[in-house]
Amino acid sequence: MMNLFTDVILHPLLWNSTPCVHQHIDFIRDPVSEYIEKKDGFSLLIELPGIRKEEITLEVKEGVLSLDARHVEKVKVEEIESKPAVESKNGSTEEKTEPKPTEKEVTTLAYSARYRLPKDADVDSATSHIDAGILTLEFKWKPEEQPRKLTIN
């Protein structure tokens, strides 16, 4: 009998073999979002608690809105720095180590999501702002194309 937890979740061959580039991230979160349609357009509300506006990247390509957000903190760590081996008084060689304080940037929180935009969304009219951890994106609908008359020469 197969045990889901031990045979599938813990099995190393079934894990994603691509290592995470960012240290100390448990996982990249999929943010909670809400789509609100209006008469003149629509809003997309995305919850990003703990993220500042300069940590958010938004891009629209081929009708898909990509959101990536990463909160980076500077953390003080002590790295062990080894010195050249020194001969002690009793004739043995010892490697001398000293802790060296350094600062590292660590990604502590990350969100990523992709949204397919409606075909009639006017991307050029998009506005965005973040308040209390909620990113609000506002889109207008593209104006309806008016029929054009063609003249025959």
Question: Which sequence spans correspond to the domains of the chain?
Answer: 20-75+111-141
pLDDT for position 17: 32
pLDDT for position 102: 78
pLDDT for position 29: 87
Cα–Cα distance for residue pair 81/100, rounded to 1 Å: 6
pLDDT for position 109: 87
CATH of 20-75+111-141, one of 1.10.3720.10, 2.60.40.790, 2.130.10.10, 3.50.30.30: 2.60.40.790
Cα–Cα distance for residue pair 2/62, rounded to 1 Å: 43
Successive 10-residue mean pLDDT values, the chain, 153 residues: 39 36 62 94 95 94 94 75 60 65 80 94 95 96 87 88
pLDDT for position 138: 97
